[in-house]
Structures are given as structure tokens and as C-alpha cells.
Structure 1
Amino acid sequence: MRTFLGDLGLLRDRRFTLLLSARTISMLGSSFAPVALAFGILELPGATATTLSVVLTAEALPMVLFMLFGGVLADRLPRQRVMMVGEWVNALAFFALGAMMLSGWTPLFGMATAAACSGVAMAVLYPALTGIIPEVVPADRLQTGNALLGLGANVSRVAGAVLGGGTVVLVGGGWALAVSGALFAVAGLLLAALRLTPAERASGPAQSVLSDLREGWREFSSRQWIWVVVAQFSVLVMALQAGHGVLGPLMAKESLGGAPAWSAFLAGEAIGTIAGVFVSLRVRPRRPILVGTLLCLPSALPYFLLGAEAPLWASVLAAFGLGVCFDVFGVLWQTTMQREVPAESLSRVASYDALGSLMFGPLGLLLAAPAAAVIGPQAALTACGVLIVLSTCAALLSPAVRNLRAPMPEPVSS
């Protein structure tokens, strides 16, 4: 039987510790960034919500548009170097944003360009990260490695949101953005120290980017369990974006006590993601995709409770459960992809996964406000819960989702 001490033995591996440190520090920078960017821009003379929207859109669009290219890049080149360059591009982008705000020279085009560079960096970082983990972590410890990386990322999200807000209050948005840039730079230095032996790539004539994308699509589409769950998440994320981004805060403002109530809801979810790491270190289901998909069902409960105007404590408790379930799902999903998809195609498959899962998210944000105006926020939140349940039940109809089996449980390691 595995123990927590046995799981933590992975921390004795220098390469994994460097990757974990780099990922944790990078996520801390990413968590600093939204607070620093939002308040830094809104504090500028003459800035409006539209100014912030333009800059955020300039960051989000390249992240979506370049995601598939990021997968190709990470499958062609050493993933360690791709991640290192991505972190340093992120650092330069946020140093530039911080310098503009501190100097008082803040042209919208300049800020949007720096934000776009950050979006491109994020587009190459995610596929490379998914692919590099099996290069660092032994095959029998993949789930443990993914869980520990998730623990560092989740703690950083919570800490970054708190520390980012405090830094903005104490020294202003410009300096907070510079801190984000410094964190990304440190993450890049840690990745530079990783010094992995480049993974072998399939030999053959050089291919075009389009050919690489077609090969990645074949690997993605040939595995029913992958594309079915990605299709499920395209609907699920749309509902989550609507509920978390617009409808939940609106409901909190109208009947739960405003911002403090919504902060409590988000805190419950954040604590749940940290607790979920410890659950994911323990569970070793024989059918990981079936279990992971079933764990999506409880994510509808917070929306049903908010829609029914249940007591705040009940919604916060449900948000905690959502955090636990999503974290366990994420570890099972990543581990199964890393085991089942060939290493030379893993980053491209991860990029199709990310693109497909996130593509309807903006639509959820766009439709949330009209839905609240037409049917009311309570009914709209209930509709979000129904969408989550229906999309999850549809995914469970797939035999590949129900029947994919994992290898035998990992042996005890000291």
C-alpha cells in the first residue's frame, strides 16, 4: 500500500524538484498577473472598462490562435527549451507592461502588444508542460507527479490572488506587474537548470506544420475517450464561464451579501482544489476516465444551490466539492493521456484538448448577461447546472469512456 511519505519520495529527484519549483513559481506569477493587470490599467488616467477589455482580449486571442502551433513546436523541439523560452517571453511581456505603467507612458497599442506576447507564451507553455512530465517522471509515478505539480499550482493560485492584491495596494499595479515578470524569469532559470536529455523524435523527412497538425489530429480523433470528453468539456466550460464569470457574482450581489459572499464561494472552491490533490494521491481507479467523468456531475450542484437561493454555507460547501472533484479529474486525465498517447505526439494532442475544451468559454460569457435579463439569474444558473449534467451523461454513453482501463496500481516506492 502506498503512503504519503512514499509519494513525497519523488521530491528527492532533482529533475522533478526543479520542474515542480519552476511550475509553482510560474503559476504564482500567473496568479499575480490578473489582479495587477486589472487594477494597474483601471488606475490609469482616462482608462475605462473598455481599455481593460481590449488588453485582456489581446492576451486571450493569441493564446487560442497559437495553441495548436504550440503543440507542434513542443513535439518538434526539446520541451524544456520551449518552456524556458515561453517563461522568459512572459517575463519580458510583464516587465514591459510594468515599465509602461511606472513611466506613465501607456499607449493602448503598446499594452495590447505586450499582452499579446504573453498570450503566445501561454499557448506554447501548456502543451510543452503536458509533454515534458513523462520525460521527467518515471512511468510508474506519473499520477503522483501530476498530483504534486497540481498541489504547487493550486497553492500558488490561492497565494497569488492574495499577494497580488496586497502588492497592488501597497506599491501599485506597475510594481506588481514587475513582480510577475520576475517570477516568470525565475521559472525560466529553473527550467534552464533542468538539463534534460532531448527526447528521441521519430526519424524521417522534415514535415510542414500542417502535416504535423494533421498527424496530431489523427492521434486525437482516433481515441474516442479523448474527443468525447473534450466535447463534454466544451459545453461544461461554457456553463462554468457563464456561472463563475457573470451569473454567480450577479446572484451574490442580489441576494447573498455581495462581494464577501462570492469571495467565500471562490475560497471554498480554492481550498477544495488543494484538498483534491491529497485525494488524487490516494485513488488509483482501474477505469480512470469513467471515474473522472463521473466526478464532473457534482460540479453542477453549486449552480443548482445558487439557483435555488440556498443558504450561503451550502453553496460554499458545494464549491469545495467542485474543487476536489475537478482536481482529481485533472490528475486522472493528465496521467491517462501521458500513458496512452505516444510521447512524440503528446503535446499536439494536449493542444487539441485545450483548444476544444476552451473554445465555447467566451460564448458562455457572452450569453450569460442576456440569459439573466430574460429568465433571471436563478433560472440561468439552474440551466448551467442542467448543461453540466446533460453533457456529462452524454459522455458516459461512450464505451471508450466507460471501459478504458489503467495499468495495475503503482508499486510502493521508497
Structure 2
Amino acid sequence: MADTLKTTPTPVRQLLRGRFGWFFVGRTVDLAGSSMTTVALALAVLQESGRASDLGIVLAADMIPTLVLLLVGGAVADRMSRRVLLISTNIASGSLMAAMAATLITNTYSLLLIASLAFVNGVVGAFSSPALRGIVPELVEQHDLQRVNALLSSIQNTVRILGPALASILVTTIGGGWALAVDAITFVLAALAFTRIPGATRPPAAGQPLWRDLVDGWSVFRSLHWIVVMAISFALINAFNVGPWNVLGPQVVSDEDGAVGWGAVQSIRAVGLLVMSIVAVKIVLRRPLRDGRIWGTLAGLPLLALGLSGEAWVVAVAAFIGGLGFSVAAITWESTLQASVPQESLSRVAAYDDLLSFLAIPLSQIAVGPLSQAYGAREICIICGIAYMAACLFPLLNKQVRNLRS
């Protein structure tokens, strides 16, 4: 399916002892807290209010400012120390989680207060995400990028499995407020780890207005045609996948095997993501974008399984295989972007990439309900599964995507 080559760049043990090591520690703790926050906050709000509408308002309050300010966050991350930005945003997130925790622990729940804190947390997220994507090339050599992104992906997929379960246990045993207090501590610990990262070596950004940075970032983004093609591909992938998988998936599988079956599907998919992340530490792809697109088509199989079968075990097998392909596609994209875009523009280019991809998600979630009512849930899943695979492959029409080497 793809050309691979056994490689021995920098040993993993040496990477973890070097500049990248403290970032890896901080990112691990950061991911653990983030993976618990969504579940703990959702359960805590429902526990306190008993109203699903409250939860919807809180989640929307967190997401909207991230989308609105993402480009500004990318510009800021390119003009100042990404290390300092990560320390600041983690301290801010920890403080916000602590404030939410205090509100719930003292039984002074207020939708307006929780939603306001979630809104500010969304603002913080708009600045932390571009910094996270931009700092890795500052810490390792270019030939180690795939290896360290595979390591980061491995830990991310591990906490995806463990974090939500731990958050559920904490909410059930000690309450939602105390669960958020634990989350707050993880953000502070992550900030402490990030303080141990050596200072950045890249030159400071030119002193020009922020709007000029945004314009310059857009110029760099659109000048790299292969990045534009890939970003459009990701937007289409999200449009065809997120709504059908998250909205129709639980419905189709639950009709066949109950709610437990859908939970098992999600867990097995996470295992597939983790397995390939670990494997990717040991290999490198000769043509990462081309091979990543080919592997990525496997992630369309779960949608086809939903439409053609719907039985939990069939969907779970497809989800495991899809998880393998999705991991390869994600790791190769992140590594190629970091290696190919100048560091002084990387966070802004990543922000434009994220924004284009993320905007398709709410559209997909809104559209899939009416479409499934009109044409049938399984039929929509089959169509979207085929379209997903096509969206993965269409960047191969671009010569740079096909031929770019690691």
C-alpha cells in the first residue's frame, strides 16, 4: 500500500532526554487534563442542572470563541515565544477550571457563570492550539518530526481511552466540582513542565500590526498550493465524517446492539489509533503525503460498515482498521506541515488549516439529521463513506502531494 523504510534517526530515549522531553511531559499532562475536562464538565453541568439545554449552551460557549479567534491565535504564536504562550494558556485554563470547580463545590451553580468561564476557556484554546502545532520543529531536528509526532499521537490516543473513563469515575465518586479541580491541577502541572523547555531559537517577529501578520499568513498559506489542496480535503473529510459518525453512528448501532455496542465500537477504534501511532514511531514513509492519503482511505470503512451492516462487531472491526489508517494520515500530515512551512509562519498556516477544517464540523452535524430523515440513515452513511475515500484521494491529483519526499 505504501513504501516504508526502517529508520533509526534519533533514538526515542535520547529524544525524551533532550529539548523535546519536557514538552512531551507537559503535553502528556495537558492532554490528560483536556481529555477529562470535556467529560467532567458535561457530567457536572448535567449533574447540577439536569438540563441538556444548559450543556449545549456551555459547549457552544467554549467552541465559538475558539473558531472566531483561531487566526489571531496563530498570528500571536508566530510573533512571540510559543513556550511562553503555552505556559500562559495552561495557567489560564487551570485557573478557569478551578473557578468552575469552586462554583460547583460550593453549590452556587449558575449557567451564566459557567458559560462565561467556558467562553473565556474557548478564547484561551484559540491561542494554545497554534502554539502547540508550531513549537515542535523548534525542539527536534527535521528528520525526527515523524517520530516525535507519532510519540505525541500515541500519548494522545492513550488518554483518549483512559481520560474519559477516569473523568466519569471522578464525577460519580467525588462529584463534578472536585473532578474539575483535578483537571485544574493537571493544567498547572503542564505549565510547570513547559517552563523547563529551553528558550526558542527562532528570531523575533517583525514589529508590525497584528492585522498585517494575518494578511501575511494568508499569503503564505495560499502560496503553498499543496497545503490549500490538503486543507480542502480535510474540510470535505470532516463534512462527510463527523456528522454521520457522531450523530448517525450511535443511532444505527444502538438499534442493532444497544448503547453498549456503540461504546465498544468507540473503544476499539481508539485502540486502532493507538496501535498505529506506536508502529509509526519505528517507520518512516518515503512519500508521506501520498502514502498518508492512501492509508487515510481506510478511515472511510466504518461509515460503509454502518450503512451495510450496522452490527456492532462489524462496525468495530471496520473502526479498528479505520483507526490504523487515520493515524497514518494524521501523523504524516502534521510532520510534513512542520517540516515544509517556515517556522516564522507555521502557527498562522496551521491556524488557517484548522479553521477551514473545523468550520465543516457544525455544518455536517446540522445537515446530517434532515438528510437521514429524507434518504435514510444507512444510505447516508454509505454515500458519505464513499465520499470520504474520494476526499482522501483527490489531493493526489496535485503533483506536489504525490511526489513530496520525507
Please give the TM-score of this superposition, normalised by the length of structure 2. Answer: 0.95
> What corresponds to 1:92 in structure 2?
95
**1:171-182 → structure 2 map (5 Å cutoff):** 171-182=174-185
Q: Following superposition of structure 1 onto structure 2, how do residues 154-193 of structure 1 map, counting pairs within 5 Å?
A: 154-193=157-196
Partner of 2:292: 292
Local SS of the residue matching 1:10: helix
- Give, in whole Å, the separation in 2 of the partners of 1:365 and 1:97: 28
Whole-Å separation in 2 of the counterparts to 1:274 and 1:341 = 27
Alignment of 1:196-275 (within 5 A): 196-201=199-204, 204=206, 206-255=207-256, 257-275=257-275
Identity of aligned residues (%): 33
The answer as to whether partners of 2:83 and 2:200 remain within 8 angstroms in 1 is: no
| AA aligned opposite 2:17 | R
- Report the alpha carbon displacement of residue 339 of structure 1 after superposing the two structures with TM: 1.1
Provide, for residues 303-332 of structure 1, a one-character-per-residue CA deviation record: whole Å limited to 9, x for no partner.
Answer: 111111254322111111222212122211
**3-state SS of 1:284 partner:** strand
One-letter amino acid of the structure 1 residue matched with residue 40 of structure 2: A
Distance 2:366 2:202 in 1: 42
Contact 1:25 1:156 in 2 (8 A): no
**For each residue in 1:49-71, what CA deviation from the matched residue of structure 2 results, as whole angstroms up to 9, or x when unmatched?**
11100000000001111111111
Out of 26, 37, 40, the residue aligned to residue 36 of structure 1 is: 40
In structure 2, what is the Cα distance between the partners aligned to 1:92 and 1:330?
31
- Quick one: distance in 1 between partners of 2:27 and 2:36? 14
Alpha-carbon distance between aligned partners in 2 of 1:377 and 1:197, rounded to the nearest angstrom: 50
- 1:244 is displaced (CA, Å) by 2.4
Unaligned 5+ segments in structure 2 are 1-5
Cα gap change, 1:35 to 1:217, in 2 (>3 Å): same
Cα separation, partners in 2 of 1:140 and 1:405, compared to 1, 3 Å: closer
Q: Secondary structure of 1:295's match?
A: helix
Partner-residue secondary structure (3-state), 1:193: coil
Q: Which amino acid aligns with 1:19?
A: F
* Residue 136 of structure 2 corresponds to residue 133 of structure 1: yes
Q: Which runs of 5+ in 1 are unaligned?
A: 407-414
**Residue 113 of structure 1: SS of its match in structure 2?**
helix
Q: Does the CA-based 8 Å contact 2:262-2:312 persist in structure 1?
A: no
Which position in structure 1 is the counterpart of 2:405? 405
SS in 2 for 1:258: helix
Q: Distance in 2 between matches of 1:322 and 1:219?
A: 32
> Within 1, Cα distance between the matches of 2:66 and 2:332?
25
Cα distance in structure 2, aligned partners of 1:176 and 1:362: 28
- Partner Cα separation in structure 2 for residue 152 and residue 109 of structure 1: 35
Q: Residue 330 of structure 1 corresponds to which residue in structure 2?
A: 330
1:294 and 1:392 in contact (8 A); partners too = yes
Which residue does the alignment assign to 1:10? 15
TM-fit CA distance, 1:4: 10
Correspondence for 2:25 among 15, 21, 25: 21
- Superposed CA offset, 1:377-407 (max 9, x none): 111211221220232232222222212222x
1:337-352 alignment, distance < 5 Å:
337-352=337-352
Tell me what 1:312 maps to.
312
The answer to whether residue 401 in structure 2 is matched with residue 396 in structure 1 is no
Q: Which residue of structure 1 aligns with residue 368 of structure 2?
A: 368
CA distance in 2, matches of 1:357, 1:44: 34
Please list the CA deviations of residues 222-254 of structure 1 after superposition, one character each: whole Å capped at 9, or x if unmatched.
Answer: 112111111011111122211222000011121
- Relative to structure 1, is the Cα distance of residues 38 and 186 closer, same or farther in structure 2, using a 3 angstrom cutoff? same
Number of residue pairs matched?
Answer: 401
Q: Is the counterpart of residue 80 in structure 1 residue 111 in structure 2?
A: no
Return the offset for 1:261: 0.6
Distance in 2 (CA, whole Å) between partners of 1:274 and 1:201 is 37
**Aligned partner of 1:56 among 52, 56, 59:** 59
SS at match of 1:246: helix
Deviation by residue 1:340-380 (Cα, 9 ceiling, x = unmatched):
10010011111111111111100111112212222221112
1:77, distance to aligned residue in structure 2 (A): 0.6
In the aligned structure 2, how far is the partner of 1:94 from the partner of 1:230?
32
Corresponding position: 1:382 with 2:382: yes
SS in 2 for 1:104: coil
Q: Which moved more, 1:287-296 or 1:190-199?
A: 190-199
Q: What does residue 411 of structure 1 align with?
A: none
Q: TM-score under structure 1 normalisation?
A: 0.93
Supply the RMSD in Å over aligned alpha carbons. 1.6
| Partner Cα distance (1:279, 1:391) in 2 | 25
- Checking the alignment, whether the CA contact within 8 Å between 1:25 and 1:184 is kept in structure 2 is yes
Structure 1 position 3, deviation (Å): 5.4
- Hey, what does 1:409 align to over in structure 2? none
- Tell me, yes or no, if the aligned pair for 1:224 and 1:401 is still in contact at 8 Å: no
Show the counterpart of 1:358. Answer: 358
> Which amino acid counterpart does residue 77 of structure 1 have in structure 2?
M
